[in-house]
Each structure stands twice: as C-alpha cells, then as structure tokens.
Amino acid sequence: MTDSPSAERRRFGMHANLLYDVITKQAGTLQKAILEGVMNGVDAGATRIEITLTHETLIISDDGKGFKNRNEIEQFFETFGTPHQEGDARYGRFRMGRGQLMAFGRNIWRTNIFEMAVDIKGRGLDYDLATLATPQPGCTIEIELYDQLLPSDRDSIDRELRSWVAYVDLPVLLNGKQISKPPTETEWDVETPEAWFKLAASRNTLSVYNLGVLVMNAPASRFGTGGTVVSKQRLDVNFARNDVQSNCPIFNRIKAELRKHSDEVVVAKPKMTDAERQHIAERILDKSLSIEDTLDLKVLTDVEGRHYTLRKLASLLAANPNIIATQRGDRVGIRIADARLANVLANDTLERFGADNLTELISQLHALAMAADERLRLCPGTNSHRFATYEFCRCILLAQPRSVGDYEHLISTDFNSIDAKQLKPNEKIKIRALHKASYSIAAALYDRTISVRFTVREVRAGESDLAEAWTDGMTNIWIDRRQLTLLEKGYTGCARLAGLLLHEYMHEGPDTDTHTHDAEFYQRYHDLTLDSDAIGMAAATMMKALADEARRRGRKPGPRIAIFADEEEMLKREGGIGSNVDPIPGDSDPSPELSPPD
C-alpha cells in the first residue's frame, strides 16, 4: 500500500469576468431591476419607497436602515453573494439583485455617510467609495440610464410595476403616485394563515404574490382556478424569482386550499372553463381525483367544440366503438360525426390529457378505469359507483381508434358552386326566395350595428358532403342543393334555412377549411336570434316569395305556404306589419346580381 501524498486544501473562486456577466446578464428589464430596488428597500426596514423615473434618469429612495458602516459596505455591497441570515430579510437571499440596477446605468448610491459610484460600462467592476459631509438617511440610488427611454417604455414600466408591487404593505410611489395597497385593505374571498385569496374561474391566470410582490402569472389550469393569491409568509422562490419551489411548505398548503376551492366549484357548477377541464384532466392523471368521482364532469371536447363527460363517452362507444381525433372544427371530422361513422374528439382532448395520440388516450383511460374498478371492489357500500365505473371500463375496452384517413374515401371534400343554368326550375324559384330572405338578414344586421359585414350576400346553390351552407365571408353564401327541399316544409323549413343564412352571415371570412366558432361568434348569433326578428322576417320573406311565385304562374300555393300568406294579407289589411323588406341604407343602387329578385 503506497503512502498518500500530502494535500493542500484549496477553495474555488470566481473570475472577475464571471461576476461581470452575472451583473450585466441577470438583468432582464429595467422594471425588473426597479422591483429589485423596491424589495431591497423593504428588506432594509423602509416604511416608504419612492421611485422617480424620467426618460433618462431613475431615482429610488427609501427610509430604511441603509449601510451602517464600512464593514457592511465591504460585506454586503462590494461582495456579491453574501447570504442573508435567517430572518433579516423578507425577500433577499444572496444579495445579488442590486447588480440589475447597475446594468442599466451609472449608479450613485448614498446611504448614511457613504457614497458609492458605479459605472459598469465605463469602469467595469471598479467603483468609487467616498465619505459624505452630511449623513444621508436611508438609501437613495440615482441612476443615469445608459439608454434613454421612449414614452412607450415608460408606459410599460408604469403598467408592470403597478401589477408587480400591487400588495406590498408599505407605500410605494412612482412619480408621486402610490402604486401599492396593503392586502389588509383589500376584500378577499378566502383568508387562511398562509395567504389571502381572490378566486375567479373566469380568469385564465392565477397571479401569485410573495408577501405582496408578484412572483408569477400561472395558467389557471395549473391550479384549477384563476384569480389572485397573496402570501402572508415568505415563499421559497427560485433564483429568478418567477416561480415557487415545489418543496415550499407554505405554498403546498396554499395549493391545497386552491385545490379544495377548485373541486367545490367544478362539482357544483354546470359549466367549466377550458382551464378547469385541463386541471381536472391533470388531477385524474395524477390520481388525486378518481375516475369514479369525475365520470359526470365535462372534460372531453368533440370536433364541433361541444363538451361531454366520460360517462357519455362510454355510452357513445357502446353504440359505435370507432373513434377518431382531429382538429376542432375540421369539416371532414364534423361530417364523419354527423354521418355517425365514428365518434370524433378534438385534438384539444388529447392535449388536455397529455396524450400524443388517440391510442395513448384510450390506454390511459382504460388503466385508470381498471384501477378504479379494483379500488371499488375493496370498498363496501359503493355499488352505484362500481356499476358506473364497470360500464365505463367495459366500453373503453370496446374502443377502436381510427384515423380521419379511414373515412376520407367516403366523403368528398369539395365545395362546388352550381351554375344557375344547371338548376331545375323549382330550384331556381327556391334560390330566388332565399336571396330575398338574404336581404332580411342583412337589414337586421344593419339595424343591430353588429361588427360584421352587413352587405347583402348573394345566395347560390352548391353541392358539398361537408356542409349544409358555406360562405366566402363577403359577397356569397352557398346553400347545399339538398337543403332546398326544406322550403317544402312550410314555416319550419323556412326558419331552418333562415337560421343557416344568419349563421353564414356571422362568418366574416371563408369557412370552408375549418368550422370553428369562438364565444364572440355565439354571442352575436344569440343576440340576433333572440333580440331581433331576423329569422322570423327571413322565413316570412321566403314563404311570401314562394306564394307570389306560385300565383304568378297561375298555380295555387301549397297549403302550408297559403295559410301563412293569407295571415300576412289579413295583417296588411288591418294595418299591421307589411311583408316588404326596407332597403338597406347605403345600398340604394345595388348591382343587378344583388337586387331582390322580382
């Protein structure tokens, strides 16, 4: 055995270039650097912090304890990374944040009898330390910015700082205006020993504040709700201070409260937001929510954007085991679903459950159902849950994942316009009736001053396997030839076609690729159908046109049409509403193609 050589114990150090990089590159934005200055003031025991910002200067002043002596300057200002002692700071840990202020301009720090001048770009890591003739209370940092600010920069800094220091419990002033408000002066939904909570399921983000300073705006799906949380105790945040460490005991208790609220709201409410669906799916996957407790929550989304439950999926698979997934609004997918060739989920559902493909999703659900079934067999008194879970498990086993390509040969993806010369005489009459009704829809849109184009769109006949109607979003609407037979069903059929016309008017661009609708679309459609007589007037216009055409040809209108025409005539004789559609303002000289047919 050889003797070990004698060893000299050494310690690693940091090269000056690395420290320079830490100072210059840890800074993201000026507002983030200002936030560090605010937190330093709070850590120093300040009762008031003032920020003055112009296009070329920044001043941060506080009435805290500052640096008391030269030893503190050498340890805590000159040396980066000296850790705080437990309890001597609310936010700081390693005394690194001041470097962000130094990165944006020439700094002059004044505190007690000391003045420190720092110019990272001019002098690198060297700084000047001087003694003041008159002591300076607290700490004031004057910065001559390396780059002047534009007005938009100052607006952005103002907006973000207001959000970031919103709940700091001492006055923080920006250019003379207070931008903070103590959380004790705010109304909250819930208060616990760890935090204050204001929760809003309608918000897409949850804003998390560490002792009044914003840490992160997290997606609502991460915690199951949106809103605001302000901690009463210090959170363990990461080095960048933009997230909370997963092992933070305070935040784990906050998350438990968020989860409790989310579960109560989701189970009680009839509708969920997409963020809540995402959260529930993640809870199912991590087994913190059981399948049997979520069978009746609408966590699945189909190709048309409708949401339904796991129990509903089981019943659909029992009737037809074929299932595919495609982009929400995909015309081919919608047609496959309408023809009941397969059940069609939206890709949103796969993403919600973290599945790369449909086979993986089905496998996940089956494994969870099997685990639930086994769990329920061991629990007495849960027969109803056991039966529902067994049925879900059985039906998931039946599922046959397919692809859209398996059905494309059965469906034409073309949208064909039919030349008027190719239409049968009765089809031409029906198209003219629909075109007259188009004027009624456009007039209703104009009267409502809704933000869609209300120019009259010409109605044409077309052929498509994918749609009952479609539009170019500007001048034309095509009605699938097969839908024209609805006009033979009297008012019911005319109202159905009027609804189709209104639906297409809501589209401000072509809708032949995908057929998706956002909340604004549905709101506009809802307003027109319920708060105006657009559909009623359009249907009446169609029936009047059909009756007039029949009489013009020396024929009697069909009984369903004639009854309506008689009632309208009686109303006219009694001075009621006439059947003529008023011209649309601004359209007094329409082109021949868009004139109402005679």
List, for residues 77-102, the tens digit of each pLDDT value: 777 765 656 655 567 555 666 778 88
In the numeric block, which tokens belong to residue 362? Answer: 């089905």
> Which pLDDT score is estimated for 24?
61
For the ranges 37-41, 71-75, 405-409, the one whose mean pLDDT is highest? 37-41
User: How far, in Å, CA of 129 to CA of 116, rounded?
Assistant: 5
In three state form, how does the secondary structure of 60-100 look? EEECCCCCCCHHHHHHHHCCCCCCCCCCCCCCCCCCCCHHH
Taking each continuous run of H as one helix and of E as one strand, the counts in the chain are: 20, 20
pLDDT of residue 8 exceeding 60, the answer is: yes
Residue 227 in contact with residue 254, Cβ under 8 Å?
Answer: no
**Mean pLDDT, residues 415-440:** 88
Provide the pLDDT confidence category of residue 56 given band limits of 50, 70 and 90.
very high
Q: In angstroms, rounded to a whole number, what is the distance separating the alpha carbons of residues 498 and 436? A: 11
Question: What are the tens digits of pLDDT across the range 119-135?
Answer: 888 888 888 889 888 88
pLDDT computed for residue 48 by the predictor? 94
In the structure, what pLDDT confidence band is assigned to residue 583 with cuts at 50, 70 and 90? very low
Average pLDDT over residues 397-415: 82
Paired with 461 in beta bridges are 479
Alpha-carbon distance of 539 to 581, in angstroms, equals 12
Residue 580 has pLDDT above 70, yes or no: no
Burial class from Cβ neighbours inside 10 Å (0-12, 13-18, 19+) for residue 2 reads exposed
Categorize the per-residue pLDDT at 17 as very low, low, confident or very high, splitting at 50, 70 and 90.
Answer: low
N residues, the chain = 598
pLDDT digits (tens, 9 = 90+) for 100-110: 888 888 999 89
- Most confident of the following: 74-83, 178-187, 333-342, 411-420: 178-187
Tens digit of each residue's pLDDT (9 = 90 or more) over 484-515 = 988 888 888 888 898 889 888 888 888 777 66
Inter-residue contact 234 to 208 (CB < 8 Å):
no
- Do 221 and 242 form a contact (C-beta atoms < 8 A)? no
Higher pLDDT, 533 or 147: 147
Segment 354-390, tens digit of pLDDT: 999 999 999 888 888 777 767 666 665 555 566 777 7
Of 169-178, 212-221, 293-302, 451-460, which gets the smallest average pLDDT? 451-460
Does the pLDDT at position 407 exceed 80? yes
Question: Is the pLDDT assigned to residue 567 strictly greater than 60?
Answer: no
Q: What percent of the chain has a predicted confidence (pLDDT) above 90?
A: 21
Confidence (pLDDT) at 145 = 93
- Alpha carbon distance 44, 66 (integer Å): 6
pLDDT at 382: 53
**Token representation of residue 499:** 């609804």
* pLDDT score of 168 more than 70: yes
Instruction: State which H helix or E strand residue 383 sits in.
Output: helix 383-398
The closest of 36, 37, 49 to 169, measured between CA atoms, is 49
Between 31-40, 81-90, 198-207, the lowest mean confidence (pLDDT) is in 81-90
pLDDT confidence of 589, banded at 50, 70, 90? very low
Please report the pLDDT score of residue 380 as a whole number.
55
**Under 8 Å between Cβ of 117 and 128:** yes
Q: Report residue 244 CA to chain centroid gap.
A: 22
Q: Which residue has the tokens 């189909």?
A: 302
Strands 476-480 and 469-471: antiparallel
Per the model's pLDDT, the better-predicted residue between 263 and 486 turns out to be: 486
